[in-house]
Structure 1
Amino acid sequence: MADNDWKSRLGMVYSTDPGFNYETDDEPEAETLPAGQQDLRVWLDRKQRAGKVVTLVKGFVGRDADLQELARMLKSRCGVGGSAKAGEIIIQGDHRDRVAELLIRSGYRCKKAGS
Structure 2
Amino acid sequence: MDLKDQLKNLFPDHQFTEEEKTEETNEGIWMQDDPIICKYEKRKGKPITILEGYTGADEDFKKLAKEIKTTLSVGGSFKDDRIIIQGDYRDRIMDILTSKGFKVKRVGG
Decide: shared fold, TM above 0.5.
yes
Aligned AA (1:50): K
Moved over 6 A (4+): none
Greater Rg, structure 1 or structure 2? 1
Equivalent runs, 1:1-115 vs 2, <5 Å: 34-46=30-42, 49-115=43-109
Uncovered stretches (5+) of structure 1, i.e. residues with no partner: 1-32
Secondary structure at the aligned position of 1:60 is classed as coil
Distance in 2 separating the partners of 1:38 and 1:102: 17
Secondary structure at the aligned position of 1:101 is classed as helix
Distance in 2 separating the partners of 1:50 and 1:61: 29
Uncovered stretches (5+) of structure 2, i.e. residues with no partner: 1-28
- If the length of structure 2 is used for normalisation, what is the TM-score? 0.68
Secondary structure at the aligned position of 1:35 is classed as coil
Whether the 8 Å contact between 1:54 and 1:94 is mirrored in structure 2 is yes
- Aligned Cα RMSD in Å? 1.5
